[in-house]
Chain A
Amino acid sequence: MTGARLQPGIYHSRGRRPPPNFRLVFLNASPGTVPDDIAGALEALHQMLGGLPQGEVRELDGQPDDHVEHSAEQFAGLEHMFAFGPRLFDDRLHDPPLTTVDRPDFLAYLPDDGPFPALRWVDGHAVSNLGEADVAIQLTGERPSGVNCAAVEIWKLLVDLGTPLSVVATFDGFGRHDGRGWLGFHDGVSNVEVSQRLHALAAPGDPDWMEGGTYMTFLRLAVDLPAWRRLSRTEQELIVGRDKLTGGALVATQRDENGEVIPVPAEPPGEDATDRQLSDHIDPPQTTDPLVEASHIHRANQNRASPSAPGALRMFRQGYDYLETLAGEEPRLGLNFVSFQRDLGIVQHMLHLPGWLGDVNFGGPADPGEGEPDQVRLIGVVAGGFYAVPPDDHPFPGAGCFPAPAAGE
């Protein structure tokens, strides 16, 4: 398992951190589009996007060398990744079909009345889910202007070529240097160990065109920050499963003389931490305290096993926060939950099973007892979708899904 076939944009290797800027661009094909047209457009996009970090901007072809350097700096670290949604395979929407390869079983639409038992659409149902499209292009880079300008370059190219692909939606996000999210807690600490990530990521050949690729989950999650801020620090820590200040995982709870719950965190690893302390910080020891077991970090990794155990349901997360507005009664902000995994069934199980994330919205006990945090609907889905991320290929990732027409056709 070398991982050599994964597309760029999945930062799983040791020492590689996701760049701080993120944008997803969603494209749909117009009715009547034929596979050859899609292939031509994707190849052109792949070539154009690949040139941007070298300062190759279509409209600026021929600019002086020092200006080319400025353009290259503008697009520093830009990487793009192609992904295909269930819509691409939907013959009810595409006549003729856009592709004849098999749709992976779990590459399905998010249900209108869900999308999951405890993680619901913000408006109660998917009025117009903008997160599902034929094609998604993930852009990541060092500069906000880089990913934003790259998205506009996508639009320009599609317009200029007159292709049947058009941009239907786009979402942005940013990474944080402090490793925390909107909830104020450390986020992403418990991600899969570096040496295990390829086991979590690399898809099997079912269907065969996906072998060596991976699958992406995208959920734009609105966070109800006012509701979160109404909770006490203790309640927040019990829901998350970590100490808010140190990031240390909770290992137990106690009760004071009034019956109030007191979270007991592990000591965070210091400079002289042993291997065990470091490992325990990243992947906290299992707990037998039911209240701690009900916290978010334990629900998301209930079985505490590596990705080589299929029942562990492990995924590699690479999320980005977003802020839309502070105007109005409540701020509109949240998390672009992005995960990559070898099989989308993993996500379905995790978000349906009680004890995991199927019976609570985020964390905490599903049926709280005296002194335990009440269930709060903290997050809701604004948009989202499942995507197949085909292995890297020539002349573009996923090219094999659009076979060239036979001579004479």
Chain B
Amino acid sequence: MRAAIEKHGPNPCVLTMPDERTPHSTAVDWVGLPARVVECATRSRALDLLDSAGGRALQEEYVEWRTVRDGVGVRRVEITTEMGEYWRVLAAHEPERLLDLVAEFSRQEDIRPDEVFGGLNPLDPSSTPEEREQAFASAMLATDDPNPYNDGRLAICCLSRSANTLRALAGMIAASTRILLTKDDVTDRVRCLTSAEAIPLLGDAGQVGRASDPVLIERLMRLAYERRLVALDDPVGVYVHSVEHSRLRTPDGGATPSDWFAFSRGSPPDETADGKPRWQRVCLEVPAETGWTVGDLVDSATGQPIRYGGQIAEMVQVAVIFRVSDPHAAAVDEPTLMQLDGVAELQCVDVVDLTEQVDSDHSDAL
């Protein structure tokens, strides 16, 4: 957070850590299907793209997933919101625990250390935490040379896209927790900027069209408008709050039991101060004794069978929790009204590029 504040300049509303001045918690939530990709490509195309070989690059809502298929259809969908930064710390200080987790997520007996740490043996007492962290990051978080234990081929462990990092989240907070006002063209009243108006003013701190960034930015601007102090809750994270499981129907039209979704890597509601769950991983799998698979389930909201992981990500509600002060606690100068040059336009270049690549791959395959 400190680095983000340094990058974006002093911000009287942002604290690096919650303290006694920030007794309240408030959550901002969204669902995990990338809204920008859907808007650029259409929903059906986006679902296909996001499950394709390069689709992970577009999973940009602080939610990444892998879709496990067999010859028939979708068997399992695994979704994570765990920050790569946390796994780096785990690699540095608890490499054995990390290897156990990778084995658990890949459903393998054990994992060879080199598969997760490259050339470094993390269990060698002579290795330093810095070396272990660096070796893990190079082996598991590199997007140009993805590792099968985190790119979905064998497992998914943590978020790996640059848009889905604590660094990106902190940058957005530092950049956008400011009072940004304009006079409304239609009503002539003073109001906070919309995200589309604010994003061009925030550098690279957010992207228009996403489910996450715009709603975070507008909420943070509103908190600043109320002159509240804001900090990320401790422990920092993007948490799974719930799943719209009641949308899913079994092949005989019945309701889908909620426990077909397995939540992990976090805390249940009865272990959190605000009674809200803080999970970081959820896996949908249909018990074998039913004779069905995930691909047999139908989303009643669309009438469509589950063919893609994105259909499940769309049902997953994730949230960032902030700790905030009472209003009027931040010493903020009276803002001036902003003259706006325009609004941010939806950017689709990367989506179009991947679409062309996938189309080309399909053509080659034929």
Whether a CB of chain B sits under 8 angstroms from the CB of A309 is: yes
With the chains together, A106 CA to B44 CA distance in Å?
11
B172 to chain A minimum Cβ distance, whole angstroms, is: 13
Whether a CB of chain A sits under 8 angstroms from the CB of B112 is: no
On chain A, the residues within 8 Å of B184 by CB distance are: 193, 195
On chain B, the residues within 8 Å of A109 by CB distance are: 303
On chain B, the residues within 8 Å of A354 by CB distance are: 241-242, 317
Query: Is the pair A352, B195 in contact by a Cβ cutoff of 8 Å?
Result: no
Binds B, one of A144-152, A224-232, A298-306, A390-398: A298-306
With the chains together, A303 CA to B30 CA distance in Å?
9
On chain B, the residues within 8 Å of A106 by CB distance are: 301-302
Query: Is the pair B219, A196 in contact by a Cβ cutoff of 8 Å?
Result: no
On chain B, the residues within 8 Å of A308 by CB distance are: 194-197, 208, 214, 343
B67 to chain A minimum Cβ distance, whole angstroms, is: 18
Query: Is the pair B189, A303 in contact by a Cβ cutoff of 8 Å?
Result: no
Chain A interface SS verdict (over half): loop
B25, B212, B226, B300 pick with most chain A CB within 10 angstroms: B300
Query: Is the pair B244, A349 in contact by a Cβ cutoff of 8 Å?
Result: yes
A215 to chain B minimum Cβ distance, whole angstroms, is: 13
B190, B195, B217 pick with most chain A CB within 10 angstroms: B195
Q: Which residues between 255 and 292 of chain A lie within 8 Å of chain B, taking CB atoms?
A: 275-276, 278-279, 285-286, 288, 290
Given the interface contacts A108-B302, A285-B226, A348-B247, does A367 sit within 8 Å of B187 by beta carbon? Answer: no
A287 to chain B minimum Cβ distance, whole angstroms, is: 8
Q: Which residues between 341 and 359 of chain B lie within 8 Å of chain A, taking CB atoms?
A: 343
A281 to chain B minimum Cβ distance, whole angstroms, is: 11
Contact pattern, A 177-194, Cβ under 8 Å of B = 1, otherwise 0: 000000000000000011
Q: When A and B form their complex, what is the total count of cross-chain residue pairs whose Cβ atoms lie within 8 Å?
A: 144
Q: Residue on B with the closest CB to A359?
A: B242
**B-side interface size class:** 35 or more
Query: Is the pair B317, A312 in contact by a Cβ cutoff of 8 Å?
Result: no
Given the interface contacts A285-B226, A309-B218, does A353 sit within 8 Å of B190 by beta carbon? Answer: no
Q: Residue on A with the closest CB to B302?
A: A105
Binds A, one of B35-43, B101-109, B133-141: B35-43
Q: Which residues between 89 and 143 of chain A lie within 8 Å of chain B, taking CB atoms?
A: 105-106, 108-109, 111, 113-114, 116-117
Query: Is the pair A305, B215 in contact by a Cβ cutoff of 8 Å?
Result: yes
Whether a CB of chain B sits under 8 angstroms from the CB of A368 is: no
A105-B302, A206-B42 known; 14 new pairs, CB 8 Å cut-off, are A108-B300, A108-B302, A111-B300, A114-B246, A279-B189, A288-B24, A305-B194, A306-B218, A310-B30, A311-B29, A311-B214, A348-B247, A349-B31, A355-B242
Q: B residues bordering A, Cβ < 8 Å? A: 24-31, 35, 38-39, 42-44, 184-187, 189-191, 194-197, 208-212, 214-215, 217-219, 222-223, 226, 241-242, 244, 246-247, 249, 253, 255, 274-275, 300-304, 314-315, 317, 324, 326-327, 343
Instruction: List 11 A-B residue pairs with CB atoms under 8 Å apart, sorted by A's residue number.
Output: A86-B303, A106-B301, A113-B253, A206-B42, A279-B190, A285-B327, A306-B194, A309-B214, A352-B247, A355-B317, A367-B275
